């Protein structure tokens, strides 16, 4: 436990450095179509311009269609991952976690008073997660919260919440669909508005600050496969880390697996070892939850799956247990509930 805490502090320091912010700020929806049209070379691989490229820029083809919202991979997660029921309560003490303030206000220039803060408690984890939700977020915890505020303490409030869970596939239960032993790698979700006019200073999409236990992004970015990818970064730097503040994706073991395969898991993964690890997580989770595994996911049409076999094996060896649905979070491993709080003003 002591070692783990030291690691978190080291990672927190790394996450505060501008380079790390750039490294984790990306668009995990992107597929390998339209590469030439993208202005940003990172994280896609162009070996001539991107020194982080792995496997010479080669990646598994036919691709695993797991990048876009409501694409085959996203739908498979929606279908096969059980949702953990949850309850939530709104903070009324005028405070917010210091990390929500740091990223949401100081770094990304949103207004502190526009955030509402919630505890979200899932039945598979004793301690809550925190959601710092900007009021411009188009996803529904706000609408639901206002309904619930009115109905507070009434059984109807719980009823409305249950109806919401059943009928709104884009709701916050998607966080609860992440296997809890993956989910425990983060403790805070920061959710922004979706329009550039909401905040012209913010041009990002979604990011993971693993050392802070933070997943942060626009509300449109909060869908299953995107959360699976982002949580992969959190797992990489905490639960799967060999220690010393190092992500597993930075180890010789991961480099050896990539080298043995000779192909990255996806075009996006070919951009760096870090991204490739998170992409491998998507593939491993599909392999675990889709009946028949990855071969069934591709409809038996991807004879090239052996090209990523060493990466899947290496990933499963360090993180397979976290990528399995069911069970409970382990409070000794869960990223701690934030205790450093500041005024929300
Ligand atoms: C399998 O991978 C090889 C090597 O990259 C490639 O030439 C081939 O087209 C791939 N197969 C299919 C069906 O795409
Ligand atoms: C949120 O959770 C923390 C930690 O369990 C608890 O101390 C706090 O009272 C909770 N706040 C609300 C508003 O539920």
Q: State pLDDT tens for residues 77-112.
A: 989 999 888 888 889 999 999 999 999 999 999 999
Radius of gyration of the chain (CA): 19
Q: Which ligand is nearest to the CA of 263?
A: 1
Contact 292 CB / ligand 1 (< 6 Å) = no
Q: Which helix (H) or strand (E) holds 121?
A: strand 115-122
Measured CA to CA in angstroms, residue 51 lies from 21, 48, 319 at distances of 18, 7, 27
Let me know if 183 is exposed, middle or buried by CB neighbors in 10 A (0-12, 13-18, 19+): buried
Cα–Cα distance measured from residue 216 to residue 127, given in angstroms and rounded to the nearest whole number: 20
| Confidence class for position 49, pLDDT limits 50, 70, 90 | confident
Atom of ligand 1 nearest to the CA of 62: 14
Nearest CA to ligand 1 atom 9: 61
User: 168 or 306: which carries more pLDDT confidence?
Assistant: 306
**Residue 209 pLDDT:** 92
**Residue 45 pLDDT:** 83
Residue 12 tokens read as 């927190």
Cα–Cα distance measured from residue 337 to residue 335, given in angstroms and rounded to the nearest whole number: 7
CA of 304 to the centre of ligand 1 (A): 7
226, 215, 168, 165: which is closest to 192 by C-alpha? 215
C-beta contacts of 34-40 below 8 A and 24+ residues apart: 35/267
189, 85, 87, 125: which is closest to 332 by C-alpha? 125
Cα–Cα distance measured from residue 220 to residue 206, given in angstroms and rounded to the nearest whole number: 9
For the chain, report the end-to-end CA distance as a whole number of angstroms. Answer: 34
Cα–Cα distance measured from residue 111 to residue 104, given in angstroms and rounded to the nearest whole number: 8
Mean pLDDT of 27-54: 61
CA of 342 to the centre of ligand 2 (A): 15
Task: Write down the residue that tokens 């993964």 correspond to.
Answer: 269
The answer to which of 44-48, 308-312, 339-343 has the lowest mean pLDDT is: 44-48
**Residue 172 pLDDT:** 63
* Residues in contact with 303: Cβ distance below 8 Å, sequence separation at least 6, in sequence order: none
Q: Report whether the peptide linkage leading into residue 43 is cis, meaning its omega lies within 30 degrees of zero.
A: yes
Cα–Cα distance measured from residue 250 to residue 262, given in angstroms and rounded to the nearest whole number: 17
Please report, rounded to a whole number, the percentage of residues in the chain having pLDDT higher than 70. 77
Contact 89 CB / ligand 2 (< 6 Å) = yes
């Amino acid at each position: 436990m002591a070692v783990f805490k030291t690691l978190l502090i080291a990672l927190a320091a790394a996450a505060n450095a501008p380079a790390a912010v750039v490294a984790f700020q990306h668009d995990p929806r992107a597929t390998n179509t339209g590469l030439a049209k993208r202005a940003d070379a990172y994280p896609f691989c162009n070996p001539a311009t991107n020194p982080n490229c792995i496997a010479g820029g080669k990646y598994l083809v036919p691709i695993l269609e797991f990048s876009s919202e409501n694409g085959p991979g996203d739908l498979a997660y929606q279908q096969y991952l059980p949702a953990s029921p949850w309850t939530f309560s709104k903070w009324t003490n005028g405070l917010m976690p210091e990390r929500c303030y740091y990223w949401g206000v100081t770094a990304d220039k949103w207004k502190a008073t526009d955030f509402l803060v919630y505890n979200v408690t899932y039945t598979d984890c004793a301690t809550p997660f925190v959601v710092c939700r900007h009021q411009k977020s188009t996803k529904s915890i706000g609408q639901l919260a206002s309904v619930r505020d009115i109905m507070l303490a009434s059984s109807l409030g719980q009823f409305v919440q249950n109806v919401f869970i059943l009928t709104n596939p884009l709701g916050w239960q998607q966080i609860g669909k992440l296997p809890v032993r993956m989910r425990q790698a983060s403790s805070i979700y920061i959710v922004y508005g979706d329009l550039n006019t909401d905040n012209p200073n913010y041009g990002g999409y979604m990011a993971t600050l693993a050392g802070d236990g933070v997943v942060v992004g626009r509300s449109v970015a909060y869908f299953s496969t995107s959360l699976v990818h982002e949580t992969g970064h959190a797992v990489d730097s905490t639960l799967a880390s060999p220690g010393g503040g190092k992500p597993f994706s930075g180890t010789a073991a991961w480099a050896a697996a990539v080298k043995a395969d000779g192909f990255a898991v996806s075009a996006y993964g070919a951009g760096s070892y870090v991204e490739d690890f998170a992409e491998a997580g998507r593939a491993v989770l599909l392999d675990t939850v889709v009946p028949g595994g990855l071969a069934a996911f591709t409809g038996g049409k991807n004879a090239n799956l052996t090209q990523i076999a060493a990466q899947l094996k290496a990933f499963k060896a360090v993180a397979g247990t976290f990528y399995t649905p069911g069970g409970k979070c382990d409070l000794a491993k869960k990223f701690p509930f934030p205790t450093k709080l500041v005024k929300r003003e």
